[in-house]
């Protein structure tokens, strides 16, 4: 028997392409087109003079960042868990809470990492189909289960449900953990964060990668009841105590302290999103009502793959999922106003000639 017979084999998550070329318009990984808060850049320059600190381990309890997060979200410090990006928070949550013989439930069209973690950790799961309008069917999540994961607003569809809608699912599932992944909530969704004081089985997950322009640093936050967070920390400290590096702890805190800059960037993205949606509709596109920093759009006549390849030849990268039900859609990150004008002009020129 080969040693390979004991290997845990999974189909890994495939992230958006990270082109090696320069001078492109990168609209395929939902990164923020604007730089982090000015205080972050200033701190990075200043840190050079303190580089000798890098020989020391960071704080395993990340207490300074936790304190700042508690102040920002108006929570208690023991209601907060910090990870290396929201992927780390979510993966730890899967490992911690989904230990039942009953299946974990999540939509068939959503963040594809959920299925990967379920397979990796040998967690039974069932993917519940979205309806024909790409909305989650609430009734599918009201039966017996080993846990529930809802991305709200959902990705890649961009559709958001109300807090009241999500609470109906939480209320019906008090015997399992419900994860609400709110990676895109700052762009127009309604956060379920107020529900963590009402239900002890809810984990709300945020990220610094999207609205805070810190995808390169990897900071994610899980928020829930004291009991829920304690269980997460127990698993975290059983894997790796030192998860967030020293500079990142400082930069993340500084990002939280410039609310005006944060709101200005989010507002610009939302305004550009609205403009782009209007212009794409003029070109014959249909799309969902996005409450995220991306659009989920298809053309009425021209195949998505054809448009994907066209844009790539023009140095514009968008995301194309060659998957059932969504293979005629493109997911287009909202970039700067200039970037989106370029995108619209390229598409307009091509479609007029077709």
Whether pLDDT at 205 is above 80: yes
Whether pLDDT at 286 is above 70: yes
DSSP 8-state class, residue 139: G
Among 39-48, 162-171, 194-203, 222-231, whose mean pLDDT is lowest? 39-48
Distance, in Å, from the CA atom of 191 to the CA atom of 347, rounded to the nearest integer, reads 35
Among 47, 60, 63, 117, CA closest to 86: 117
Whether pLDDT at 215 is above 70: yes
The CA dihedral of 254, 255, 258, 262, to the nearest 10 degrees, is 180
Task: Please name the residues in contact with 116: beta carbons below 8 A apart, sequence gap of 6 or more.
Answer: 10, 11, 12, 13
* Res 313: pLDDT: 95
Whether pLDDT at 34 is above 80: yes
Whether pLDDT at 91 is above 80: yes
* Res 4: pLDDT: 85
More confident residue, 218 or 243: 218
* Res 354: pLDDT: 65
Percent of the chain exceeding pLDDT 90 equals 90
pLDDT tens-digit profile of 157-168?
999 999 999 999
pLDDT tens-digit profile of 341-352?
999 999 999 998
Q: Helix, strand, coil proportions of the chain in percent (round to 5)?
A: 45, 15, 45
Whether pLDDT at 178 is above 70: yes
Whether pLDDT at 353 is above 90: no
Whether pLDDT at 1 is above 80: no
What's the average model confidence in pLDDT over 37-56? 92
Output the pTM of the full model. 0.95
* Res 15: pLDDT: 80
Whether pLDDT at 48 is above 90: no
Whether the upstream peptide bond of residue 22 has omega within 30° of 0, thus cis, is no
Q: Encoding tokens for residue 225?
A: 């009841």
What's the average model confidence in pLDDT over 217-233? 97
Whether pLDDT at 195 is above 80: yes
Percent of the chain exceeding pLDDT 70 equals 100
């Amino acid at each position: 028997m080969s040693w390979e017979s004991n290997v845990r084999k999974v189909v890994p998550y495939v992230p958006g392409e990270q082109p090696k070329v320069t001078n492109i318009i990168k609209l395929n990984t939902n990164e923020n087109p604007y730089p982090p808060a000015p205080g972050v850049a200033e701190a990075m320059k200043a840190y050079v003079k303190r580089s000798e600190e890098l020989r020391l381990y960071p704080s395993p309890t990340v207490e300074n960042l936790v304190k700042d997060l508690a102040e920002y979200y108006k929570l208690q410090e023991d209601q907060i868990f910090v990870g290396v990006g929201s992927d780390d928070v979510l993966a730890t949550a899967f490992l911690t809470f989904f230990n039942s013989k009953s299946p974990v439930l999540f939509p068939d069209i959503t963040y594809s990492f959920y299925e990967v973690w379920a397979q990796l950790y040998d967690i039974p799961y069932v993917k519940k189909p979205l309806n024909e309008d790409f909305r989650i069917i609430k009734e599918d999540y009201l039966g017996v289960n080993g846990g529930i994961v809802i991305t709200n607003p959902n990705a890649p569809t961009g559709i958001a449900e109300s807090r009241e809608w999500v609470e109906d699912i939480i209320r019906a599932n008090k015997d399992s953990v419900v994860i609400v992944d709110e990676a895109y909530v700052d762009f127009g969704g309604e956060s379920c964060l107020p529900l963590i004081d009402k239900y002890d089985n809810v984990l709300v997950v945020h990220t610094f990668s999207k609205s805070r322009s810190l995808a390169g640093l990897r900071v994610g936050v899980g928020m829930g009841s004291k009991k829920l967070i304690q269980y997460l920390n127990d698993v975290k400290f059983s894997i790796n105590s030192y998860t967030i590096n020293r500079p990142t702890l400082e930069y993340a805190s500084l990002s939280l302290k410039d609310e005006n800059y944060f709101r200005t960037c989010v507002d610009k993205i939302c305004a550009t999103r609205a403009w782009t949606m209007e212009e794409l509709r003029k070109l014959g596109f249909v799309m969902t009502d996005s409450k995220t920093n991306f659009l989920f759009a298809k053309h009425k006549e021209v195949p998505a793959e054809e448009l994907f390849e066209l844009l790539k030849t023009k140095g514009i990268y968008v995301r194309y999922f060659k998957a059932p039900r969504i293979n005629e859609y493109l997911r287009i990150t909202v970039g700067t106003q200039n970037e989106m004008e370029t995108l619209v002009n390229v598409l307009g020129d091509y479609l007029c000639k077709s």
